[in-house]
Structure 1
C-alpha cells in the first residue's frame, strides 16, 4: 500500500469514528433540548389547569381526554404526599387519524380544599417525532457528506504535497548510471523533501564517481596486465625458435607459454565480466537470433571439426528480441563453445530454436551441480578453460532480461535460453 493511501485510510478511519461520536452526542443533545422544551410546556399547561381548577371547581370533575388535553382524578393523601412529577412517552388513539399517535405526558399531584388530586396533561408528539426523523436524516447526510468531502480534499492536498516525492521516485527508476550524471529535482517548500533531494543528489554523485573510478581502474589494470603478458609471450616464443634447448626444456617452456596464454584469456574474461556487470554495453537493437546463431555456428565449424563433433541446428520458429547484439553473440558463442568442448569425439551437439527459447544439447554421463554451474572459476582446473564462460553467459542473460537454465535429461546436458 502506498504511503499516501495508508495515511488517507488511517485518517479516514479516525474521522469516521470521531465524527460518528460527535454526531451521536449532537443528536442526543438536540433530543434532550426537544424533550426539555416539551416538558416545560407541559409543566406550564399543568399550572394553568390547576389555577383554572381553583377558580372553577367543575374542572376537577374532568376525567377523560375527550374534550381537552388533561384529566383530573382524586387520590389518597398517602399517594399525594409522596408523589413526584413524572414525564413519559405513551400512545393515544386519535379519532381524526384513526390510529394511535405518540404523546408526551406529565403526571402530577396537587392539593385543593384539603383534598388531593392527580392530574395528567398531554401534548402531541407528532411534530416532534417528525422533527426527530428529520434531525436524524439531516445528521446522517451531513455526516456522510463531511466524511466524503474531508477524505477527498485530504487525498487531493496530500497527493499534491507528495508530488515531488513521487516524481523523484520515477526519475530514480529511469536513472541510468552509464548514461546519466544528474537528475532534475522538483522544487518544493517541504523541508523533508528538500532534504531528501539533497541526500539523493549527494548519493548519486558519489555513485557516479565510484562507477567512473572503478571503470577506469578496470580498464587501466587490464591494459597494464595485457602489455607485459604479450611481451613475455613474444619473448618466450622467440626464445623457443632461436635457442638451442633440450626436449625437456622445450616442454617446460611450452608449459610456461600455455600458462601465460591462459592468464591472458583470464584477464580478458574478467574485464568482459566486469563490463557486463557495470552495464557498459548500452547500445540496443532488434536482434534476429536465428541469423546470429547460424553465423556463430559457421564460425565454430572448424573448431567442432577439430574436436570431431558435429553441430546440428533445428529451427522450429524464428526469434527476434531487443538487446545488445555484441552481448547476444557472446552468449551464443560461450554456450556453443562449452557444448563442443565438453562433448566426446564422434558425437553431436544440437542447437534447437523454438518460439520462446534456444537450447544447446550435448551428451554427458552425469549431471552437473546446478547450484555451482554458473559460479566463477567452475571448471578452471582444465588447462583450456578459464572457468568464466558460464559465469559470463549468466551475467549476459541477466543483463538482457533472459533466463539461462541448466537441466540433465536422458544422458544429455541441456542449457536453455528462455525469452
Structure 2
C-alpha cells in the first residue's frame, strides 16, 4: 500500500472515530438541554396550578398530561420529583415516553399530589432532527478535510516521488543522475543532496572496480597466454624424459585451468554488475541447435545419443551474450559430465527448458551445485559454470533448478 493511501486511511479511521464520539456527545448534550427546557416548563406549570388552588380556582384533570388528586394522609414535607416514564398509548397501544413531574404538597390545609407530564416524542424528533443536521454537516466537513488533506499531501510528497522515480531509473553503467525536484522543503532537499552524493560515490566505486577487474584480467591473461604457449612448445620437444613430460603436462593443465577461472570470474563479475544489458528477443531453439552443431565432435567421440523435443517456440528477451553463456554452460555440462554411450535429452516448452544427461551420482548435494568453486573433486573443473548459470538466471528473471533422478542429471530453467 502506498504511503499516501495509508496516511489517508489512518486519518479517515481516526477522524471518523472522533466524529462518531463527538456526534454521540453532541446528541447527549442536546438531549440534556431539551430535558432541562421541558423540566423548566413542568416546574412553571406546577407553580401556576398551585397558585390557582391557593386562590380556590378549580383545576380540571387532563389525563395523562395532568392529574390532581387529594391525598388521604397528610404531607409532612413538600417534595418534587422529575423523571422520564413510559406509559401505554390508549389509541395505538404502544408505550410512549413522557417527562413527568410529581409534586406532593399541602395547599390551604389540604394534601395534594400533582402529576404533570409532557410528551417527549415531539421533543425527541426535534433532537434527532437537529443532531442529524449537525451530523450531516460534520460528515461533509470530514469529506472536505480528507480531500483537502489528500491533495495537500500529494503536493507536499511530490518531491519524494520525483526522487524515487529517478532512483528506479538509476543504472550503474549509465550516465544519468537523479535530478533535483526544485522543492523548497528542507528535508527533501537534504534527501536529494544525500542521494546525489551516494549515487556519485557508488558510480565512482563501480567504475574503479570495473577498471580494476578489466585491467587485472588483461594483465593476468596476457602472461598466462605466454605460459601456455611456451608449455605447448615444450610438450612438443623430443628431448623431454617421461618424467619431465609428466611435469610439464601437469603445469600446462593447471595454467589452462587458471586461465579458464580468470575468464569465468571476469564473466561472473560483469553479470553481477549488469554490464550485459542489450536485451532482444531470441529464439531458444536456434541457439540450442547451434550449440549442438558446435559440440558434435565431442558428442560423437563419447558416442552420446541426443533426443530433443521442441514442444513450443520459446522466446527469451535477453542479452545475446548471456543467452549463449547460459546455454553453452548447460550443454557443455551435459556432454562433459556424461558417460560413454550415454544420452542427452532436451525438452523445450513455452515457459520451461529442461536438459538432462545420464551420469554418475554427484558427490555434492543439490543445494551446493550452484555455489562457486564447488567442483565435487573433479580435476580441470573451475566450479564456476553453474554459478554463472544461476547468476544469469537471477538477473534475467529466470529460475534454475537441479536434481538427480534415475541416474540422470536434470537442469531446468523456468522463464
Return the TM-score normalized by structure 1.
0.87
Instruction: For 2:116 and 2:244, locate their aligned partners in 1 and report how far apart those are by CA, in whole Å.
Output: 134
Would you say the 8 A contact 1:309–1:348 is kept in 2? Answer: yes
**Number of the residue aligned with 1:49:** 49
Matched ranges for 1:9-408 at <5 A = 9-55=9-55, 57-59=56-58, 62=59, 64-65=61-62, 70-75=66-71, 78-79=74-75, 81-90=76-85, 102-240=97-235, 244-367=239-362, 368-379=364-375, 381-408=377-404
The CA deviation at 1:299 is 1.0
Instruction: For 2:349 and 2:88, locate their aligned partners in 1 and report how far apart those are by CA, in whole Å.
Output: 90
Instruction: For 2:80 and 2:198, locate their aligned partners in 1 and report how far apart those are by CA, in whole Å.
Output: 80
Where do 5+ consecutive residues of structure 2 fail to align? none
Q: After superposing the two structures, state which structure 1 stretch, 44-53 or 262-271, moved more.
A: 44-53
The CA deviation at 1:98 is 9.9
Instruction: For 1:45 and 1:2, locate their aligned partners in 2 and report how far apart those are by CA, in whole Å.
Output: 64
The CA deviation at 1:106 is 2.6
Distance verdict in 2 for CA 1:22–1:100, change over 3 Å: closer
Would you say the 8 A contact 2:302–2:340 is kept in 1? Answer: yes
Q: After superposing the two structures, state which structure 1 stretch, 130-139 or 327-336, moved more.
A: 130-139
Would you say the 8 A contact 1:273–1:392 is kept in 2? Answer: yes
Q: After superposing the two structures, state which structure 1 stretch, 321-330 or 2-11, moved more.
A: 2-11
Would you say the 8 A contact 2:101–2:116 is kept in 1? Answer: yes
Q: After superposing the two structures, state which structure 1 stretch, 114-123 or 17-26, moved more.
A: 114-123
Corresponding residue SS for 2:210:
helix
Q: After superposing the two structures, state which structure 1 stretch, 137-146 or 364-373, moved more.
A: 137-146
Distance verdict in 2 for CA 1:248–1:100, change over 3 Å: closer
Distance verdict in 2 for CA 1:260–1:35, change over 3 Å: same
Instruction: For 2:283 and 2:361, locate their aligned partners in 1 and report how far apart those are by CA, in whole Å.
Output: 34
Runs (4+) off by over 4 Å: 68-71, 90-103, 238-243
Distance verdict in 2 for CA 1:252–1:365, change over 3 Å: closer
The two structures, once aligned, show a CA RMSD in angstroms of 3.0
1:411 aligned to which of 389, 407, 412: 407
Task: Give CA-to-partner distance per residue, 1:10-54, whole Å, 9 cap, x none.
Answer: 333332332222222222222222122222222222223333333
Would you say the 8 A contact 1:361–1:413 is kept in 2? Answer: yes
The CA deviation at 1:274 is 0.9
Distance verdict in 2 for CA 1:180–1:75, change over 3 Å: farther
The CA deviation at 1:329 is 0.9
The CA deviation at 1:398 is 1.8
Instruction: For 1:191 and 1:324, locate their aligned partners in 2 and report how far apart those are by CA, in whole Å.
Output: 42
The CA deviation at 1:325 is 1.0
Distance verdict in 2 for CA 1:314–1:65, change over 3 Å: closer
Where do 5+ consecutive residues of structure 1 fail to align? none
Pairs aligned (count)? 414
Distance verdict in 2 for CA 1:105–1:255, change over 3 Å: closer
Corresponding residue SS for 2:230:
helix
Instruction: For 2:258 and 2:241, locate their aligned partners in 1 and report how far apart those are by CA, in whole Å.
Output: 26
